[in-house]
Amino acid sequence: DAKTTQPPSMDCAEGRAANLPCNHSTISGNEYVYWYRQIHSQGPQYIIHGLKNNETNEMASLIITEDRKSSTLILPHATLRDTAVYYCIVRVLHNSGAGSYQLTFGKGTKLSVIP
């Protein structure tokens, strides 16, 4: 799986949009970009994923650059409950072998939402 680079920490004012960047310059054509978050020692929570088109769900939006070398997770109206560590992960599209199931977690970005 391609490696990802994220800033270690970010702050965001409550009610404002939180934009979390991720660099994955070595991503392959068959790798998706996934985002998970972990709220204070709880189990990670799946947020969103995408291949090359922008994606939106009830939690967030995912913007992937045209060359797919970077992406941004957007929380449109951050709340205090969004304070968490956010992980950007890339993994293969198809299950061609055991390793394709694995999620490789880095250290993520610690997002602090400030009142």
| Site residues, other proteins (CB under 8 A) | 32, 34, 36, 41-47, 49, 87, 91-95, 98, 100-108
Q: How many other C-beta atoms are found inside a 10 Å radius of the C-beta of residue 2?
A: 18
C-beta of 81 vs 115, nearer to other proteins: 81
Question: Which residues, listed in sequence order, are joined to residue 20 by a DSSP beta bridge?
Answer: 73
Report the residue number, 9 or 16, with the smaller CB distance to other proteins: 9
Residue 11 beta carbon to other proteins: minimum distance, rounded to whole angstroms:
19
C-alpha distance from residue 65 to each of 21, 41, 44, 73 (Å): 11, 31, 25, 12
- For the CB of residue 8, give the shortest distance to other proteins in the complex, in Å: 10
Q: Which is nearer to other proteins, 2 or 47 (CB)?
A: 47
Q: Report d(CA 97, CA 32) in Å as an integer.
A: 16
Closest approach of Cβ 6 to other proteins, in Å?
11
